[in-house]
Structure 1
Amino acid sequence: MSDFFRDLWRILWADKSALVGAILIVCYGLVAIFGPMFVHLRTFGQQDGTYLPPSSKHLLGTDTLGQDILAEIIVGTRPIMEVGLLAATITTFVGVVIGLVTGYQGGWVDVVVMRIVDIALTIPGLPLIIVIAAVIHSSNPFVLAAILSVTGWAGLARAVRSQAISLRTMDFMAAARIQGLPLHNIVGRQLLPNVGPYVAIHFLLGITGAIYAEVGLFLLGVAPLSGTNWGIMINLAMSQGALYTSKSMLYLLAPMASIVVLQVAFVFFSRALDSLFNPRLRVQ
């Protein structure tokens, strides 16, 4: 494990953009964990407290209710990243388990499950997510994560299955079968480490896709507009005429910029994982 982190640090130090991405991800994580403890949303309750321009007291100004926009960005970081991580975890877990088990087992199990995967791949993901979210209409992070993962696992399952099929003919797999190892040991300890690099990168990029989809649900008003997160901020800014008046423009641009910076950070950091798992890509 120490060698892993030492190699990762060496790659990050050589690739400055990946290092910047890692630093940004850590900063977002710290804000999500500790930010709400130190920042609290306040409503001024005065007409002259709305749409204040940036100042030393309000670095990004205030919104139509007189709330500090920067404080809303900080408070809204946790629910966005929480759902993104949960959705990526569910998608990755389901896709990896199905892909490894079907790829190793083969036979009728593989045929039946892959037909289900094919059906899931043909279903338009975003319209289905919108319909399910509208019907359930829940802001619970676990429920939202499950909704966002409803079809996202299928592509990963097929890709992991292909790798499992190529691995099951290897000598170490034959040795595992001769020893009579149970299925969970073969899948978890023999196959999984060999597909780990691909899974790690897919998990990282899965967070970005989940965050985009989550923000989209709040922007469309499909998910309940309760609490504070970046999607709700964009929705409220649009409903308050952000496209037609410069007064609320910062209220619209601030959450959008937060999303873009986070996505860029994940993409940059994924380059470090690529180099870590594929030495031929490492920066000399």
Structure 2
Amino acid sequence: MSDMNPAVALPGGARATLRRNFWRGVWRVLKRKPSRMAGAIIVLGFAFMGVFGPLLYPDQLPRDDNALYAPPSWAHPFGTDFEGTDVLALVVTGAQYVLLTGLVTAVITIVLGTGVGLFAGFRRGRWDSVLMRITDMKLTIPGLPLLLVLSTIWKFSSAWEMGLVLGLLGWGGVARAVRSQTLSLRERGFIEAARGLGLSTTHIIGRELLPSMAPFIAMNMLIAVTGAVYAQVGLFFLGVLPFEANNWGVMLNLAVFGGGALTTTAALPYLMAPLLAILLLTLGIVLVVDAMDEIFNPRLREE
């Protein structure tokens, strides 16, 4: 395997050509398997729902006291809830909180975990020991009990707040994984050459190591989104967080504990709608990660 750095400086025209070839390769990989194309469409669909979904409905969703727990119909594809509100509208408008929380969590997790892992793995020695001890202490903090304590003083009404807390609790594993990758890459020829040229640590990490690890980091970011979705939905479902925001976890809690969806069929559509949304989002991310594995790893590309 060649030790040439894939991120070596290129003229503007060459970089533009490289970008075009990359996106053409992405398109070929997606077209090769319909499941991958379906995954990309699902993820883009949820992204569109999170950004524009709330704009399709009024701030106060209409209620119909004469249609409580109405069965699915053309007017209400997933029926209505205990207040006569359209369940599909609740899923669409509740997606923004869930998806924004997942995005904020993933960004914080990746930025902190990648930064700590890269620096510790490259510098080694005392810096490595200090940063890894901090990481180990972070990994020993029990997330659920801490969130239970925080919920007594913090309402988590904002997706930014929830994402911040989940991100600060979730970067340790990424830091450990990135450090392992960095320890392997730092012995490669192009890193030795960069050090021999006297390039700064910041330059070597930012321009040499980071691009080589971009596929690994991108896949971990997508996985972090699913982890954040499960974490927040689970917390709201268990009722440990105040119902200050409309999201899928609140819907699941109200369907099971308020509507008795596990014992009666009346509230079953109210339960199934957010579950279906979570499953579809997870499926889309898994299929996209499968495509990314081939996009960034030439050894996996089929001829």
Structure 1 unaligned segments of length 5 or more: list them.
Answer: none
The SS at the match of 1:149 is helix
1:281 partner letter: L
Structure 1 CA distance for aligned equivalents of residues 56 and 224 of structure 2: 30
Distance in structure 1 (CA, Å) of the matches to 2:285 and 2:144:
22
2:185 aligned residue: 167
Q: Does 1:265 pair with 2:265?
A: no
Contact 1:22–1:269, Cα closer than 8 Å, also in 2: yes
Deviation at 1:175, TM superposition (A): 3.0
**CA positional deviation for 1:230:** 0.6
Q: Take 1:88 and 1:134, find their aligned partners in 2: how far apart are those partners?
A: 25
TM-score by structure 2 length? 0.88
Is structure 2 residue 256 aligned with structure 1 residue 238?
yes
Which letter maps to 2:281? L
In the TM superposition, residue 127 of structure 1 has moved relative to its aligned partner by 3.7
Structure 2: how far apart are the matches of 1:134 and 1:144? 14
Give the letter aligned to residue 123 of structure 2: Q
Bigger helix fraction: 1
Q: Letter of the aligned partner of 1:256 in structure 2?
A: L
CA distances 1:60-111 after superposition (whole Å, capped 9, x unpaired): 1111101010111110111110000110110011000000001111111111
Structure 1 distance, partners of 2:226, 2:179, is 23
Equivalent in 171, 174, 180 of residue 156 of structure 1: 174
Q: Deviations over 1:206-227 (max 9, x none)?
A: 1001100010111122222123
Q: CA deviation at 1:45?
A: 4.9
Could you tell me which amino acid in structure 1 is paired with residue 285 of structure 2? F
Is the 8 Å Cα contact of residues 133 and 144 (structure 1) preserved in structure 2? no
Q: Does 1:32 align with 2:50?
A: yes
Aligned residue number for residue 128 of structure 2: 110
Q: Which amino acid is the alignment partner of residue 7 of structure 1?
A: G
Deviation at 1:134, TM superposition (A): 4.2
> Following the alignment from structure 2 to structure 1, what is the Cα–Cα distance between the partners of residues 29 and 67?
48
**Which amino acid is 1:272 matched to?**
A
Q: In terms of mean alpha carbon deviation, does 207-216 or 35-44 score higher?
A: 35-44
* SS of match in other structure, 2:98: helix
Q: Which amino acid in 2 is paired with 1:246?
A: T
User: Does structure 1 retain, via aligned residues, the 8 Å contact 2:68–2:80?
Assistant: yes
1:176 paired with 2:194, answer yes
Supply the distance in 2 between the matched residues of 1:65 and 1:185 (Cα, whole angstroms). Answer: 58
Contact 1:132–1:147 (CA under 8 A) maintained in structure 2 = no
Q: In the alignment, which of 39, 51, 54 is matched to residue 21 of structure 1?
A: 39
TM-score (normalised: structure 1): 0.93
* Secondary structure, counterpart of 2:277 in structure 1: helix
Q: Shift of residue 243 of structure 1?
A: 1.6
Is 1:138 the equivalent of 2:156?
Answer: yes
Question: 2:265 is aligned with what amino acid?
Answer: S
Unaligned 5+ segments in structure 2 are: 1-18
From 228, 238, 252, the counterpart of 1:210: 228
Cα distance in 2 between the residues matched to 1:13 and 1:2:
17
Q: Distance in 2 between matches of 1:132 and 1:18?
A: 39
Q: Is the 8 A contact 1:39 1:74 kept in 2?
A: no
1: distance between equivalents of 2:148 and 2:20?
43
Secondary structure in 1 matching 2:169: coil
Structure 1 vs Structure 2: percent identity of aligned residues? 42
Give the superposition deviation at 1:135.
Answer: 4.2
Deviations 1:95-138 (A, max 9, x none): 00000001111111111111122222334434434443444332
Is residue 194 of structure 1 aligned with residue 221 of structure 2?
A: no
Alignment correspondent of 1:278? 297
Quote the offset at 1:282 in angstroms.
2.9
CA RMSD of aligned residues (A): 1.7
Determine which of 30, 35, 54 is the counterpart of 2:72: 54
Deviates more, 1:138-147 or 1:59-68: 138-147
Q: Distance in 2 between matches of 1:273 and 1:130?
A: 36
Q: What do the CA deviations read for 1:210-254 (whole angstroms, capped 9, x no partner)?
A: 100010111122222123111111111122122222111111111
Alpha carbons 1:103, 1:165 under 8 Å: kept: yes
The 4+ residue runs of structure 1 with deviation greater than 4 A are: none
Query: Contact 1:242/1:252 (CA < 8 Å) preserved in 2?
Result: yes
Q: Report the Cα distance in structure 2 between the residues aligned to 1:121 and 1:227, rounded to whole angstroms.
A: 29
- How far the C-alpha of 1:174 sits from its partner, in A, is 2.8
